[in-house]
Chain A
């Protein structure tokens, strides 16, 4: 292992505090009143850090906040100009360095989808890009996939290093922290202690074992053609989607859903143009001012969600826009299973009704 340190359980808080000295550190942590409700929170002493638990919402809000100001505007009264006021628009911002510590490989990998769109498309998104450049991802090799996980089915796996700058490998009394990228190496230097040969060996074994593990059945990465063939099969979509409530839960907890809306929120003489999470499952997402809606019901909307992740994104960027974290399945109020929908796309017999 190139650059690795050992981080005893007992020194975890110390390490997080050390990292917090020059960065915002985001860790999965239990809520004060609900310890099993694990979300990414800014590290602070006393926080109940839960590296062992799967977080409810992905870490996407670290790079893509639920709501952020794109620009601010102020109207300054000035009767010498015809409009009676001058408008000042300001898009300056400061982005602090950040560390996401202890996310799962799927969370880190989710940002590869964002990168394709926000960094490698025809226009580069500066807000995302600045955060991306200043954020280090430390993922934990995952040993507790549940019934909703399917990372292997989308070409990833519980030890996937893609998108991570460093990896944590859990041992009985602590973690081996291994650098993957330069940025990761810089972080590893700041914390932990020199690992023993046994610890390195144990970490290697665990990494090998996790690397061989298959989470989720089959492969869902080559469904582009099947999706297009199924596009107008109303019975198929109704069969799977009639139970959908058309809420935005699946998209909000998803590490790869990046769709957003832009709105102006003003009061008095000043305001902000903000970008906030939006969901393709909401009717307003595509509702035009004329009243026309190209995706008028949950069936078209869910079809677009499936298509975006498993067909459109594939034909545009050559990869699926899904990291297999299973959150949309695990937390769906009515257990809509996107795996089952995608898996059934090429199935010819009528298994759906």
Chain B
């Protein structure tokens, strides 16, 4: 990781804060890091474990930070730059105050898949990466696991591994896993009969704890502390532990992301009970693509389709 460190070392005087990733409480956990001192730059890492989409912090960080000449540096993977683009489109982030470090991304690891792929049970003491291989060390020995076999669902349908918008791109471009938008997972659900689809979602959503991690991890859930899901006036959901209330919360989330969701998949990654909540938003993205040929977070100058209209449209 020489290039990320050396780049930040070179530019540190121009920066008030660097948002990147560091190793968390165990080697397989990369966690967001907020670096304000030069000596802490060494903590930063960049590898396929760096799953969190750091653009989620930007609106609030920029709002609370004092306006100075210095910029906020943020490390963004290809898909993360789409989220940033959408935030810029909607005016939540001032591009001028950011120093965007774009990182071509080979895909991120799904911790569950990794746990299943491992043959050893002992805790991982060290992890390294080489040629799309994860090399895990534990006292039981060394294991090599191909990255492709443990990719997160979002990464298996990735078509934007390379940053779309950045002040500097560190690393060589990565070939995309999909050339065109892929909605295979959505289509799998769509292929079920209507009744079974409802039963499927009732079963999945029954597990929901309403912890709102999916909402809070979403870079485009910009209402933050003013979320409709918790409002009592108007009251959209009750406090009952019922599937219907959980469903309504997820509908609030999904419909508010219609035509805005950049498909970063954070909602699904953070879900503690493994509900494929990103499918709701992928379906929205599919509809937006069909109806208006629109992809969120690709063009900073575009207007999201539900925030505009076209009188000449026909067929709707």
Contacts and interface: CB of A to CB of B under 8 A. Distances in A.
Interface string A270-307: 00001010010011100000000000000000000000
Contacts, number: 113
A57 to B, nearest CB: 7
A174 interface: no
A252 B116 CA distance: 26
Contact of B32 (A148, A243, A340): A243
Nearest to B240: A67
Interface string B239-252: 11100000000000
Given A36-B116, A252-B211, A279-B211, A265 B240 contact: yes
A57 B116 CA distance: 20
A333 B213 contact: yes
Interface in B10-62: 24-26, 29, 31-37, 40, 52, 56-57
B240 A276 contact: yes
Given A247-B211, A340-B25, 7 more contacts: A67-B241, A245-B270, A247-B270, A248-B209, A248-B210, A331-B272, A337-B25
A253 B207 contact: no
Given A242-B34, A252-B211, A247 B217 contact: yes
A147 interface: yes
B195 interface: no
A75 interface: no
Contacts of B302: none
A198 to B, nearest CB: 26
Nearest to A339: B25
Nearest to B61: A242
A334 B52 contact: yes
Contacts of B217: 245, 247, 333
Interface string B257-276: 00000000010011011100
B181 interface: no
Contact of B25 (A261, A279, A284, A335): A335
Interface string A317-336: 00000000000010101111
Most buried by A among B40, B216, B217, B241: B216
Contact of A56 (B40, B212, B273): B273
A37 interface: yes
A194 to B, nearest CB: 33
8 contacts: A37-B207, A146-B123, A147-B26, A245-B217, A249-B211, A252-B211, A333-B213, A339-B25
A39 B207 contact: yes
B160 to A, nearest CB: 22
Contacts of B239: 67, 261, 263, 265, 274, 276
A146 B29 CA distance: 13
B281 interface: no
B225 interface: yes
Contacts of B203: 32-33
A36 B240 contact: no
A246 interface: yes
Interface in A332-353: 333-337, 339-340, 353
Contact of A334 (B32, B115, B123, B230): B32
Nearest to A293: B225
Contacts of B115: 36
A335 B31 contact: yes
A252 to B, nearest CB: 5
B230 A282 contact: yes
Contacts of B216: 245-247, 333
A65 interface: yes
Given A245-B56, A282-B230, A353-B35, A335 B29 contact: yes
A247 B274 CA distance: 16
A279 B216 CA distance: 14
Contact of A283 (B24, B207, B225, B266): B225
A67 B204 CA distance: 19
Nearest to A267: B238
Interface in A217-241: 238-239
A248 B212 contact: yes
Interface in B136-176: none
Nearest to A340: B25
Given A33-B203, A247-B216, A276-B239, A335 B24 contact: yes
A130 interface: no
A115 interface: no
Nearest to A352: B40
A124 interface: no
B71 interface: no
Contacts of A265: 238-240
Contacts of B211: 247-249, 252-253, 279
Contacts of B272: 56-57, 249, 253, 331
A57 B33 contact: no
Contacts of B241: 65-67, 276
Contacts of B210: 248, 252
A20 B268 CA distance: 35
Nearest to A326: B25
Interface string B58-82: 0000000000000000000000000
A93 interface: no
A293 to B, nearest CB: 9
Contacts of A39: 207, 273
B277 to A, nearest CB: 13
Contacts of A337: 24-25
